[in-house]
């Protein structure tokens, strides 16, 4: 992981850049691939702590990516990522949009 440029980190103030990454992570794989290639991305690093109960992983922060992305890209709507009863679900009760998103696929790769 050394000698790599980071597009978004905890100190990124460029919200349109964060929104673009949010757009990619909330998109299906084929669309996300095109977005990341336009940014010359070769690697995507996702922190997933579901197996150990780490609550600060990326899937738990995902709705913020959706919200920020939706602020710039109106086709991203938070309600599309909410499951039954309007709850944020990452299990079988998750919305079809959520279950097809790159973030979900990278977190729960089979």
Digit-coded pLDDT (tens) for 40-91: 998 898 888 877 878 888 899 999 999 999 999 999 999 999 998 899 999 8
What is the C-alpha to C-alpha distance for residues 31 and 90, in angstroms, rounded to an integer? 21
Predicted local confidence at residue 11, as pLDDT? 65
Predicted local confidence at residue 94, as pLDDT? 93
The answer to whether 56 touches 49, Cβ cutoff 8 Å, is yes
């Amino acid at each position: 992981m050394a000698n790599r440029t980071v597009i978004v980190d905890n100190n990124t103030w460029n919200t349109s850049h964060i929104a673009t990454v949010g757009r990619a992570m909330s998109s299906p794989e084929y669309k996300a691939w095109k977005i990341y290639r336009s940014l010359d991305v070769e690697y995507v690093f996702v922190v997933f702590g579901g197996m150990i109960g780490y609550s600060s992983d990326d899937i738990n922060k995902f709705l913020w990516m959706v919200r920020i992305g939706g602020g710039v890209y109106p086709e991203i709507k938070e309600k599309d990522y909410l499951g039954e009863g309007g709850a944020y679900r990452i299990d079988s009760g998750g919305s079809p949009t959520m279950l097809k998103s790159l973030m979900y696929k990278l977190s729960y790769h089979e």
